[in-house]
Every structure is written in structure tokens, then in C-alpha cells.
Amino acid sequence: MKRRDFIKLGAFGAAAATLPQPAFAQAKAIFKASDVQPAGYPTVVATENLGKKLEAATGGRLSVQMYPSMQLGGEKETIEQTQIGAIQILRVSAGSLGPIVDDINVVNMPFLFKSMAQAEKMMDGPIGEELLDKITANANANLVALCWMDAGARSLYNTKKPVKSIDDIKGLKFRVIGNPIFIDMMNALGGNGVAMGYDQVFSALQTGVIDGAENNPPSYVFSNHYTAAKYFSLTEHLVIPEVLVFSKRAWASLSPDDQNLIRKFAREAQMEERELWKKYEQQAMEKAKAAGCEITEIADKAPFQNAVKPVWDKYGPKYKDMITRIQAI
């Protein structure tokens, strides 16, 4: 049996022990929380803090056990486990949710946001709330969306050469999240988009299965990708928010008071994570530079923006109204 399958089987088997049941809505419960990122990562810390507040507010009746560093599997596996209730709390990329909740793909469009400030205003405002509600309302998702979390801007890194212009991307194999939008985006930029789980990226970089990947600076550094891929180019082609979700099956067993308490602490976690993120991102860049990574600024992003026009032509019309509202922020 593969290790991942063993982990998943163990998680399923343990679900009954941790999942609160409707008849015992006020019983003691320990919620499993999963994140692919390592301990100390902003999303992990913010979720842990949520758990501490919940435990204090309920006198220890409700608490959170954090499983960082892909202990329970990659994003695809942990989404599936959360959908059936084996995991109760999950931090997941909107990129990975897009294939499940199509409405969310609007935030996965390349070069959608002009800046992080604009993206944060979207998350904090009515549009952000509306998109979270679409996740919760989706019958196939079986998830309750609690809040957004910052994940910065995503850029390209690779093992071969610095990407200084769009021509430098040609022919390179870049890992992308398993979402058709990202594969089309990478192909439009001139590279070869390879869909792959985040848990496989480091070894794929080391062995040459892929030439590079695209992600934010903290993921590049604190998952050790920078040790294999020395060239980091600030294309900032995507700003993909993270989403903190709760298993709908577990959520239905909670009292309205407990639900409101979790929502309150989740909203606080959204703002706490943002401040943690800014510091963490700066630390990541400093660590990459100290390690001798070649950081390339892209002064003119117009060629990259023009190249992804086919992606906008293909997917944009579906999200036209929402895109207009986001761009008006």
C-alpha cells in the first residue's frame, strides 16, 4: 500500500473519533486541520491561533489539532478527505478549488489584480463574501468557506536559466496547479504546463521531471524549492488567494453558537494571516538572496500580459460580470 493511501485510510478510520455527531453537538471535539505548508507558515500559524481561541472560548470543549507539511496528503487528497468529514478544517488554494467550484476560477485568471492591495480589498469586501458563499452553496463541494488568506503574487522559478523576457520561457516544463486555466496559461506563455500535486514538486525539480514551477516566495523558499531551482523571476502573473474551509458534514453537527464562534475567529485569522504573510514573504526573499539565488525583476510585464490573451478569450466571457466588478475595485 502506498504511504499516501495508508495516511488517507488512517484519516478515514479516525474520522469517527474526531467528527462531532448531530446528537452530541455540545460534546467535546478535536477538529483535524490540514495544510500542505510547513510549521511556522502564516496560514498554519493563523489556523493554529484560531484553534487556541476556540479552545479558550469553549473551555476546552472544541479544539484544533494542526497537521502541517502535507502530513495528511497533498491538496487534492485533503480536499477529498474534508469533503467526507475525515478532516474538518483545511487551508487550500483557490486554484485547487476552481475545478470543484467553477465560480471561484474568476480569481485564477492571470494578471487579474493590479496589486495585492486590490486583491485584499476584494477579499475583505462584498465580492469576497459573495465568492465564499458560492463555495458553501455548491452542492458538490461539501465545504463551508470560512475566510480568505493571503498568498501573495506567484512568479516563475526554474533550474535552467534566468527568465528575463517571455522568450526565455519557451520550451521549459513548469509545474502548475491541476486546473485547466493554469495549463493553458503556461502554454500561452510559451512553456509546457505540467499539472502536478504540490507534494511532488520538490522531487520533480531535483530529478529533472520538470524544469521549474510557479509560486510565491515563501513556498519557493520554505518548501526548499530554492535549493534545486536557483533562478526566480518576478513575473507576478497570478495572485491566487487561499481559502480556509470546514467540512460541511462536520459543520452541520455544530450548534449555531459554535458555528458563529468559528466564523468570528476565522475572520480574525484572515487579518492575522495577512500581517504574518508580509513578514514571512520578506524573510523568504532575504533567505533566497543569501543562498545565492538569482532574483530577476521584470520591468515590463506587457509581453507576458499580451501572451495570455487566449486564456482571457477562452475563460473570460464566463466570468465577465464578476471580472468587471473586481477590476473596478
Per-residue pLDDT reduced to its tens digit, 24-50: 356 899 999 999 999 999 999 999 999
Mean pLDDT of 237-258: 98
Q: How many domains does the chain have?
A: 2
* Same domain as 261, residue 293: no
* Same domain as 57, residue 190: no
Mean pLDDT of 55-71: 98
* Same domain as 20, residue 76: yes
Query: DSSP H helical segments within the chain, as ranges?
Result: 3-18, 42-57, 75-84, 94-97, 116-124, 126-137, 180-188, 201-207, 217-222, 248-251, 256-290, 302-307, 309-315, 320-327
- pTM for the predicted model, two decimal places: 0.91
Cα–Cα distance for residue pair 243/43, rounded to 1 Å: 10
Please measure the distance between the N-terminal and C-terminal CA atoms of the chain and give it in whole angstroms. 50
* Same domain as 230, residue 186: yes
* Same domain as 44, residue 125: yes
* Same domain as 103, residue 45: yes
* Same domain as 218, residue 194: yes
The parent domain of residue 41 ranges over 3-150+240-281
* Same domain as 214, residue 102: no
**Distance, C-alpha 55 to centroid of its chain:** 25
* Same domain as 188, residue 76: no
CATH of the domain at 296: 3.40.190.170
Query: What is the structure's pLDDT at 27?
Result: 84
Q: pLDDT tens across 144-178, in order?
A: 999 999 999 999 999 999 999 999 999 999 999 99
CB 301 within 8 A of CB 236: yes
* Same domain as 69, residue 129: yes
The mean of the pLDDT values for the chain is 93
Q: What is the 3-state secondary structure (H, E, C) of 236-296?
A: EEECCCEEEEEEHHHHCCCCHHHHHHHHHHHHHHHHHHHHHHHHHHHHHHHHHHHCCCEEE
* Same domain as 104, residue 55: yes
* Same domain as 267, residue 224: no
